[in-house]
């Protein structure tokens, strides 16, 4: 009961609210040693201290009142906030593709409750139509909430559930699937679904937003429009991540789920295809392919769902001086697979060798990937590399570390046989290892170089 009436308040603040019979959402008039304050009492964030009461004053701002200054308080009214989103029917338009949106918990679209400041996710077709009416010109939309977790809590369980839901939906008949997702682990999910959903007849588009849609400059609406368009109209039947190209509101990029990576903690244009070019550019008018070869959309429903995942795979980010007991500890804890993230061309120091040998003897599957992110593992160049291969570490080509972790988990969910594991790991499902790196596959521009600065000035970032 207290939780509801005094949301988030504790200690001194809670005692005061009780003493003066003032509730959250109550209109309050407080006399303090700093003068009087009037407003509506708001819920308090659980992690904030117990020395302040938050009110929204008439001009719309929030302020905190120091409990130690309060002389008296009086509740002069009460009005509980209403969290409901007004819904409008998502219009059905004959001839437009049918797109299914899966919700996973990340908020792509939302509505702001100004009274409380709460962000309410918009998810049903009606809510989404209210938030982004342009969607109705792109597709006929159905939505389904599969689960509700934050991006960082997405994991094996969710990958499996999504893969199965995708299989079911394709059997039912749909022109494309969009998955709304938090951005932090969007690329992990992209890789997992690529391995688990093979021979796709339709596009599967993962989309999120770097700026929540309660802000006018959010990338959410445009990302959502791009994603719906790609799902409904593109002929690229692959698992793709659809996010901003530049940080400007100009166009989106469609990245392969196996080659994409989040490269900046907060930029809108954070997702980049690594070691290759993206699949396509997309804007509200058209989809412009960049890659010529891709899996084409088909009319059949013959998707191959392979929902396997072992939770006994770990990653080891190497640092100079790393001690062998780190590997021993992992082996002792029962891990069956280790993805090494090595330096340079794929190296770790010699002191680790005995531990690597011990792990190999125990049947641990070990693969090498790179801290450099770009480039290929190449273990033949130095003796140390050859030593390591002899001790059981297999180079994983230009597979991204996170992708290698996802893939080994998926592989070990199916087999334990070392030869089979190696074969599955090194046989690309969809370009997680590519045979060649094109010259425009590695681009990390350096600011301050005149021609780079010129480019940045001329082209919208």
Partner 1 sequence: MSFNSKSNYEISKKKVGYVPRIDATQETYDALGFMSGLEVHQQLLTSEKLFCHCPAGIFHEHDDYNAELIRHMRPTLSELGEYDGTALMEFKTRKEIVYRINNENACTYEIDDTPPFPINVDALEKALEISLLSKLNIVGEVHITRKQYLDGSIPAGFQRTAILGVEGELELPSKKIRLIQLSIEEDSCREISDVGHVRVYKTDRLGMPLIETVTYPDFKNPDEVKDGCDYIRFLNRSTGNVRTGMGAGRQDVNVSCRGGSRVEIKGVAHTKWIPELTHNEVFRQWALLQIRDMLSANLNNIKGWKVSSVGVKDILSILPELEEKETIIAINLPGFKGALSYFTQPGQMFADEISTRLKVIACIEKPNMAHSEEFESILSEKHWKLVQTRLKASKEDSQIIIWANEDDISTAIETVEERCKLALTGVPNETRKSFEDGTTIFERVLPGADRMYPDTDSAPIPLDDNYLNNLNKNLPTDVIDNYKILKEWGVNEEVYTYIFSKNLFPIITKIVDKIGVNPKYVCAFFGHEVKFAVGHYQGPEQFNFERIFKLFKYLKSKGITFELAEKMLPELIMHPQMDFESILTSMNFKKYSKKEILSKLPLLNEKFSEGKEIISNIKRKNWVMGKLRNIAIGNIELTDLSKEV
Taking the complex as a whole, how short is the minimal distance between the CB of residue 85 and partner 1, in angstroms? 8
Between 85 and 424, whose beta carbon lies closer to partner 1? 85
Give the residue from 354, 441, 416, 417 showing the smallest Cα distance to 391.
354
Taking the complex as a whole, how short is the minimal distance between the CB of residue 49 and partner 1, in angstroms? 7
37 binds partner 1 (CB under 8 A): yes
Cα gap 179→145, rounded to integer Å: 10
Taking the complex as a whole, how short is the minimal distance between the CB of residue 50 and partner 1, in angstroms? 12
251 binds partner 1 (CB under 8 A): no
Cα gap 428→44, rounded to integer Å: 51
Distances 14 to 51, 75, 243, 285 between C-alpha atoms, Å:
9, 15, 44, 55
268 binds partner 1 (CB under 8 A): yes
Taking the complex as a whole, how short is the minimal distance between the CB of residue 206 and partner 1, in angstroms? 21
Among 2, 19, 60, 445, binds partner 1 (CB under 8 A): 60
218 binds partner 1 (CB under 8 A): yes
461 binds partner 1 (CB under 8 A): yes
145 binds partner 1 (CB under 8 A): no
Contacts of 200 (CB under 8 A, 6+ apart): 170, 237, 238, 239, 295, 303
Cα gap 451→461, rounded to integer Å: 15
Among 1, 3, 61, 152, binds partner 1 (CB under 8 A): 61
Among 266, 293, 299, 446, binds partner 1 (CB under 8 A): 266
Segment contacting partner 1 (CB under 8 A): 63-71, 93-101, 235-243, 297-305?
63-71
Q: What are the two backbone dihedrals, phi and then psi, of residue 341, each rounded to the nearest 5 degrees? A: -115, 100
Identify whether the C-beta of residue 343 lies closer than 8 Å to the C-beta of residue 318. Answer: yes
- Here the tokens at position 141 are 């939309």
320 binds partner 1 (CB under 8 A): no
Cα gap 353→391, rounded to integer Å: 8
Q: Which residue has the tokens 């219009």?
A: 91
Q: Catalytic annotation on 189?
A: no
Q: Over the Cα atoms of the chain, what is R_g?
A: 26
Of the residues 48, 50, 113, 184, only one is catalytic, namely 184
Q: Catalytic annotation on 262?
A: yes
Cα gap 280→288, rounded to integer Å: 5
Cα gap 209→123, rounded to integer Å: 14
Cα gap 432→193, rounded to integer Å: 13
Of the residues 100, 229, 262, 407, only one is catalytic, namely 262
Taking the complex as a whole, how short is the minimal distance between the CB of residue 43 and partner 1, in angstroms? 11
Between 63 and 323, whose beta carbon lies closer to partner 1? 63
Positions touching partner 1 (CB under 8 A) are 32-37, 48-49, 51-52, 54, 57-69, 85-86, 88, 110-115, 117, 119, 122, 130-131, 133, 211, 213-218, 221-222, 246-250, 264, 266-268, 447, 453, 456-457, 460-461
Cite the active site residues. 107, 183-184, 262
């Amino acid at each position: 009961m207290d939780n509801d009436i005094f949301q988030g308040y504790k200690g001194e603040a809670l005692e005061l609210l009780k003493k003066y019979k003032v509730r959250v959402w109550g209109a309050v008039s407080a006399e303090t040693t700093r003068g009087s304050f009037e407003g509506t009492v708001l819920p308090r964030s659980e992690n904030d201290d117990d020395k302040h009461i938050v009110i929204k004053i008439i001009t719309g701002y929030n302020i905190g009142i120091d409990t130690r200054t309060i002389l008296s308080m009086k509740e002069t009214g009460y009005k509980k906030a209403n969290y409901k989103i007004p819904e409008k029917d998502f219009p059905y338009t004959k001839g437009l593709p049918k797109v299914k949106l899966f919700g996973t918990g990340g908020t792509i679209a939302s509505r702001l409750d100004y009274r409380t400041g709460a962000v309410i996710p918009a998810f049903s077709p009606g809510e989404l139509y209210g938030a982004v009416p342009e969607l109705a010109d792109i597709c006929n939309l159905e939505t389904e909430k599969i689960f509700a977790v934050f991006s960082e809590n997405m994991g094996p369980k969710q990958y499996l559930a999504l893969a199965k839901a995708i299989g079911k939906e394709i059997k039912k008949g749909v022109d494309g699937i969009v998955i709304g997702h938090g951005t932090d682990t969007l690329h992990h999910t992209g890789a997992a679904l690529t391995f688990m959903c093979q021979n796709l007849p339709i596009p599967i588009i993962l989309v999120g937003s770097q700026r929540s849609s309660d802000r006018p400059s959010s990338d959410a609406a445009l990302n959502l429009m791009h994603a719906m368009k790609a799902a409904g109209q593109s002929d690229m039947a692959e698992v793709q991540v659809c996010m901003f190209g530049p940080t400007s509101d100009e166009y989106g990029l469609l990245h392969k789920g196996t080659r994409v990576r989040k490269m900046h903690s907060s930029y809108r244009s954070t997702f980049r295809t690594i070691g290759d070019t993206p699949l396509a550019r997309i804007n509200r008018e058209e989809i412009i392919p960049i890659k010529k070869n891709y899996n084409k959309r088909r009319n059949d429903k013959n998707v191959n769902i392979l929902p396997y995942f072992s939770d006994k795979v770990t990653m080891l980010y190497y640092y100079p001086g790393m001690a062998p007991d780190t590997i021993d500890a992992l082996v002792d804890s029962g891990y069956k697979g280790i993805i090494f993230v090595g330096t340079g061309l794929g190296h770790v120091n010699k002191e680790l060798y005995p531990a690597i040998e011990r792990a190999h003897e125990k049947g641990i599957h070990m693969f090498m990937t790179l801290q450099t992110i770009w480039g290929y593992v190449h273990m033949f160049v130095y003796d140390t590399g050859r030593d390591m291969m002899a001790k059981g570490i297999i180079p994983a080509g230009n597979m991204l570390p996170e992708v290698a972790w996802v893939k080994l988990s998926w592989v070990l969910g199916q087999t334990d046989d070392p030869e089979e594991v190696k074969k599955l790991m090194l046989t690309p499902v969809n370009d997680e290892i590519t045979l060649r790196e094109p010259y425009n596959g590695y681009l990390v521009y350096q600011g301050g170089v005149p021609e780079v600065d010129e480019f940045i000035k001329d082209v919208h970032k």
